[in-house]
Structure 1
């Protein structure tokens, strides 16, 4: 790999890691940007004469990462409990399927576990940009998920992962395909303008790209820590969700990292232990009202603690760490747990407010 190609490769990979961090603050444009980058990164690599080995595993791992950030942003931003519950199921369902696929390489599994969460997230944020999501019933959101699942994702997953067709290749081989796509898009646009748009109720507000403000009683880090002090515990459903979330994410990345030699079971156990230790330490800090206001600094502090824990643990066990792979997993654990601990109290506060009324 030449220096120029290496720079392009590292730039694209860095963008795939950094761009998702904008999703919590600019949900719709950021997730669409991630979707576009996901679709063009291989083309960018190939245009510079480089076809990354194991691209399929890399692509699935990066998808899992950016969708995890999108899921965490629903904890922070979404006001509809019905939509959130559906999205959580869709996310974990796809995440489990992604890991099973990586372990088995059975491509038909991607048809069984389609990535409905991604488009459901886009649908929610599109609606939220003009209308209040809380006015829509759970049955409506289930219908949205069902339409995306059957009409959009099943054909797409079959095309990409079962038939293994490439749109660019098909257009080059059959020029009528492009004309058909243009005609279909034009037809959908006309149908929307004539059949759907006139039936839409008036918008609740002008276009809103930014999410709703956090509720005032829970919008500061010290208030979020105080909520955890009152309501959280080391051994809790919250800790279990973080352990499951990170176990699945790290399991997918473990199949992608070329130098990682550990088993998925050992990785799950190591992640779970680290998550529990993080929960214990963060709750101990919260009970002493030790709060770092900056999310970035809180992440850095947690990463430092995790590196120390891993170093001490490996010294006690007399084992050699995997170096960069271990640091990567610790970084992922630190990032996800920091964001989860910050934003889950926001979601729970909103849910309690709705229940109280």
Structure 2
């Protein structure tokens, strides 16, 4: 009975960690803070309420962290009108993504210090700032200064505490009861900071369509389908999707049971699926077909990708290969979700700036 209860708690926590990030594109600040809170307390919940062994949970934890950070990065395509902030955020995100992928391959903990997660707090800084002022007024030096402050003052000490000293917060509190006051003060500071940010905002911040703003709306010659970079099969978006989804898939492959494929094979499979998806999407766009909703796009692309996996599962035995269908199903849904969000929000990004991602 206890084992069933432990598994129930485990899957509830993991399900929350998968579903909560889907709120980030529409509610960026609330969504990312919710993900951070769940990330901060999940192991504490396991320690207090289950008897689960947690030796290997760090791999799960880092993979789930990268999952919600990936959703956050993709949401910047949708929400960020400051192009320099977007480019800086992209650099910070891929810096962390590369570090987590290397950690998954080597389990060398100092990598998580070297590739510190500055993107997360930079994302929060930007989204909190836009509640109080026009984000387009943020200068390049202000953005660089914010990123440097986050790295030096917040993230390097935090990553050193967690990954080099290997300090457990619960054990630290047990051995130093006064440390609880530090955590309570930190939490109170966050709450008061949020109150200060939100007290002048009487309702949720409206995010009107970029097409409603004549300053950012594309001209007729810049509209999608009018020789913009996404009309070519091989373009920056395709390359970025391959890099992004391949690294994300390799990171998750390290924690899935019975994964026999090499990292190169995973990257090759992901590349094939992305190229096919992109070709089909561009073919439909040229015919004038538009998705009625992002959910419809996700369901149709998922069905197509599952068909590709089923075909591979049928053909591989003829060359002495095989596929773990449970793992394949999970990976297909994961990559399809991110491909769908990326494609949809990149179109908004292109419409906003009337250029390709540079």
Would you say same fold, with TM above 0.5?
yes
Check if 1:275 corresponds to 2:274: yes
Aligned equivalent of 1:234: 233
CA RMSD of the aligned region, Å? 2.7
Check if 1:73 corresponds to 2:72: no
CA contact (8 A) 1:79 1:350 kept: yes
TM-score, with normalisation over the residues of structure 1? 0.87
Summarize deviations over 1:98-145 as a string: whole Å, max 9, x none: 000110111001110001000100111100111111011111101000
User: Which consecutive residues of structure 1, in runs of 5 or more, have no partner in the other structure?
Assistant: none
Q: Distance in 2 between matches of 1:155 and 1:74?
A: 27
Aligned equivalent of 1:149: 151
Summarize deviations over 1:317-353 as a string: whole Å, max 9, x none: 4332211111111111211111111010211222239
Shift of 1:79: 1.0
Q: Distance in 1 between matches of 2:166 and 2:285?
A: 50
Aligned equivalent of 1:264: 263
Check if 1:173 corresponds to 2:172: no
Change (3 A) 1:81 1:110: same
Change (3 A) 1:228 1:93: farther
User: Which consecutive residues of structure 2, in runs of 5 or more, have no partner in the other structure?
Assistant: none
Q: Tell me how many residue pairs correspond in the alignment.
A: 338
TM-score, with normalisation over the residues of structure 2? 0.87
Shift of 1:187: 9.1
Aligned equivalent of 1:34: 35
CA contact (8 A) 1:250 1:267 kept: yes
Change (3 A) 1:180 1:2: closer
Shift of 1:7: 2.0
Aligned equivalent of 2:106: 104
Change (3 A) 1:208 1:160: farther
Q: Distance in 2 between matches of 1:332 and 1:70?
A: 15
Aligned equivalent of 1:309: 308
Aligned equivalent of 1:213: 208
Q: Secondary structure at the match of 1:16?
A: helix
CA contact (8 A) 2:161 2:167 kept: yes
Check if 1:43 corresponds to 2:38: no
Q: Secondary structure at the match of 1:171?
A: helix
Aligned equivalent of 2:115: 113
Q: Secondary structure at the match of 1:213?
A: coil
Summarize deviations over 1:37-57 as a string: whole Å, max 9, x none: 011111222222223452010
Q: Distance in 2 between matches of 1:116 and 1:175?
A: 30
CA contact (8 A) 2:44 2:170 kept: no
Change (3 A) 1:352 1:207: farther
Q: Secondary structure at the match of 2:69?
A: helix
Change (3 A) 1:106 1:284: same
Q: Distance in 2 between matches of 1:305 and 1:216?
A: 31
Q: Distance in 2 between matches of 1:59 and 1:187?
A: 26
Q: Distance in 2 between matches of 1:33 and 1:342?
A: 24
Shift of 1:82: 1.1
Q: Secondary structure at the match of 2:324?
A: coil
CA contact (8 A) 1:229 1:283 kept: no
